[in-house]
Structure 1
């Protein structure tokens, strides 16, 4: 995506609520709302079923436009919609690094690990303009606070030197989101993201540079990417990229994500709509027995391919024509 010179707007009474306290800039078809951060470190709701308790998100909204993104709901509180607005209207917390430094230095903060980028990819296109992440990484490193970066973007490699410096004083890791390896699905469900192959190349590059990188295998799509062959293909490719960990996650459909995802499903897989209405009729999650079965399958495959083990049962083999391209 090309970021052109911004167009400034003065807030008006008929505009979204977020504009009342924001400086609004336009970059092509993207609108950025520059705001001051009310808080830097936020608690991750237990309902998210993520292995993180605390999060830091420099952006709200995300240009990758993932139809299933659970963070979409947050745009409603800003006077924006959870569909196109989430994809094209990005809230930018321009002073987040300064706020983060103050919170990390507070006596009540216990130095717990934080995840970066849960409410919008912290290396999405806006980061090319605002460059918030270098200051955030430096703040965490100066405090010696462990952190994990979640991303789908190769832009993270820009900050590889900073990540390596931070890793000298605290625990640093990255999780690349790759729920499936079918790029046709990616084009419909994650239209602004790079291909699964490119994300796995990022994983390989980070690991070979000494930054532990795992794969967040989410979302696994019921009746679409949950077959044994599909699960095996994704786990195998993660192993080839040298992933140090693999965390599976079955698709969640909370409010905000449900409508964009079901609209895609009705367009691309209309025959599955009744099945999904049954699976998600009781709420945003599939039945527990289904989730447990999928998790067990992925855990078994990860063990077979040696992910997370110092000594692998399966060794990756690369021929020159299949060598992963390091970004």
Structure 2
């Protein structure tokens, strides 16, 4: 059974489904620093124009643009599935990464509280994990993070590409401010949990000036980050089309430069990346960010199966079938706060 909800979030529809699995295995040949992921949601209300995960919505016959931002799939049985899968004799207790595809602390989490359930299961099994987020809602779970860190390895990172508020408001319209995210970093650090910062993505010609880079790295250092890793924008199918549409609307004069920069594919040329790396590393030394990991190309995760580990064909077909059924039911999106409509699909 699938439930379609349009709760108190303006313009967002939630598709509640009972998934068949929750742990996703990352192929062994990848260079990613983790082998298992959990993504309790598909789609993301953060609505970041550059999001690499946009193409995953096309697996469900939804578009990678507005649908990705507003039609959110919620795996309501995520915690129950994790409890079952961690009890399997074959499970060896490897670290699990969360936030690798879409943000687990997006708006939906305030309603569904899936992360609290998942964290409680991880605590019970003393299983190590990591979380990457732009969401300040993670502070709601600081009690669970503290408990987990007493018995296993816990790594938290926040993503802050720039502290330029003009760029933030335009390119990440559904996210908390960069300053609020760095406040999360400060709080976690003060609580003894520690926090890293993923300075990503750095947008060519929009957030990569010397002044912008310095103000961002200075703010990251002031927040007490234990390390910073910078990542220039990469544009793959799904994200590329949506980003260029946004660019043409808000920064049309930059379109020719972007077409030239990304003419050979999804990634910036080596020359741009290397120059950016030198600038970031110089600033990181100035602000004593000794844990700096430098610039990553993004190609560490160039395979679609690595960036989008939830590619189990059976699971995708199940979700697709449920969503297709739901589209035949009359639903409306919210135009008023605290309005709710529920449709049950048998």
TM-score normalized by the length of structure 2 = 0.79
CA contact (8 A) 1:172 1:212 kept: no
Alignment partner of 1:279 out of 261, 280, 283: 261
1:72 aligned residue (44, 54, 60): 54
How does 1:15-164 map onto structure 2 within 5 Å?
A: 22-27=2-7, 28-44=10-26, 51-164=33-146
Name the residue aligned to 1:12.
none
Please list every run of 5 or more consecutive structure 1 residues that lacks an aligned counterpart in the other structure. Answer: 1-20, 310-327
**Residues 189-208 of structure 1: pairs in structure 2 closer than 5 A:** 189-208=171-190
Which consecutive residues of structure 2, in runs of 5 or more, have no partner in the other structure?
A: 292-346
Could you list the structure 1 runs, at least 4 aligned residues long, displaced by more than 6 angstroms after superposition. Answer: 45-49
Q: Which secondary structure state, in structure 1, belongs to the residue aligned with residue 6 of structure 2?
A: strand
> Per the alignment, do residues 101 and 289 of structure 1 end up closer, same or farther by CA in structure 2, a change over 3 Å counting?
farther
After superposition, give the CA deviation of every residue in 1:39-67 in whole Å (9 maximum; x if it has no partner): 22224579998644432111111111000
Q: In the comparison of the two structures, how many residue pairs are matched?
A: 289
Q: Which has the higher contact order (CA 8 A, sep 6+)?
A: 2
Larger mean Cα displacement after TM superposition, 164-173 or 140-149: 140-149
In 2, the alpha carbon distance for the partners of 1:258 and 1:207 equals 35
Give SS of 1:191's match. coil
Aligned to 2:279: 297
**Contact map agreement 1:24 1:32 (CA 8 A) in 2:** yes
What's the counterpart of residue 226 of structure 2?
244
Q: Please give the alpha-carbon distance, in whole angstroms, between the structure 1 residues aligned to 2:168 and 2:34.
A: 25
- State the TM-score, normalizing by the size of structure 1: 0.83
Q: What secondary structure, in the 3-state scheme, does the structure 2 residue paired with 1:150 have?
A: strand
Aligned to 1:225, what secondary structure does the other structure show?
Answer: coil
| Map of 1:180 onto structure 2 | 162
Compute the RMSD of aligned alpha carbons.
2.0
